[in-house]
Amino acid sequence: MDIAGSGALVVGGASGLGEATVRRLHQQGASVTIADINTETGEALGAELGVACVACDVREEDQVHAAVEQAAEAGGGLRICVCCAGTGYAQKVTGSKGPHPLEPFASILAINLIGTFNVLRFASTAMLGNEPLADGERGVCINTASIAAYDGQVGQVAYSASKGGIVGMTLPAARDLASAGVRVMTIAPGLFDTPLLAMLPPEARESLGKSIPWPPRLGLPAEYAQLAAHIVENRMLNGEVIRLDGALRMAPR
């Protein structure tokens, strides 16, 4: 699919991986809509690039639906959807503090997994109404998991479960939508230089980067965006999860 002239929605597009994806798709000529719970940052980015930003909490059906509808009406039809929304929580299953509380576990699943599914189901429904391209393609949905889905560390039970769910729904979703010409892909990033890691001391960030076999540094959000753009353009990529991690396999701690 050509990016130029296509309508695109980037959920969680105000910062980090999402912001880099917004910039990349905009640079390549897509009509981009930013959706994010952080409207202040999103609107600043939108003003810089001249694109729309809509408030969106991925747990809220109405907000996701409204974001998808706005993107579909922005020009070119909604043909590209990238979901980068997510957050984390660290605690062991049990320990000196007692059992892992249920509420934060449920909250992480609600944001990361159910939120991603909300975006996927509404975006793909909008894509069904697109006129098929020359080869019958109508759209592509790209979700964001994590290598924690495979190599979850101590204290990552909630986060890993949520990202594992995204991995698990990739193939069946792609099969569900194949007859309509809508592709579904997932990127599973490793350690990336995002606002979350920016809160760590410089020496801690440097140490994390050196743990990556090659290149021995934190991933750049622009490298995530580069892969997302390639997925859009490569029609044979469908129903797969791509690890973007520099060959990193996370240790237990």
Interval 203-237: pLDDT, tens:
888 888 999 999 999 999 999 999 999 999 999 99
Catalytically annotated residues: 159
Q: What is the tens place of the pLDDT at every residue in 41-100?
A: 999 999 999 999 999 999 999 999 999 999 999 877 999 999 999 999 999 999 998 999
- Residue 22: inside a domain: yes
The answer to whether the beta carbons of residues 18 and 11 sit under 8 Å apart is yes
Q: Which helix (H) or strand (E) holds 83?
A: strand 78-83
Domain-located, residue 153: yes
| Tally of domains in the chain | 1
Asked whether residue 201 is assigned to any structural domain, the reply reads no
Structural domain contains residue 158: yes
Angstrom distance (rounded) from CA 193 to CA 197: 6
Q: Is residue 94 part of a domain?
A: yes
Q: What CATH number is attached to the domain comprising 234? A: 3.40.50.720
C-alpha–C-alpha distance, residues 47 and 75, integer Å = 18
The answer to the question of residue 251 being in a domain is: no
Q: Per the domain annotation, does 77 fall within a domain?
A: yes
**Under a CB-based contact definition with an 8 Å cutoff, are residues 32 and 11 in contact?**
no
Domain with 128 in it:
7-195+213-244
Q: Which of 27-31, 66-70, 199-203 has the lowest mean pLDDT?
A: 199-203
Global model pTM greater than 0.75: yes
Q: Is residue 202, in this structure, part of any structural domain at all? A: no
Q: Are 209 and 216 in contact (CB under 8 A)?
A: yes
SS3 content of the chain, % helix, strand, coil (to 5): 45, 15, 35
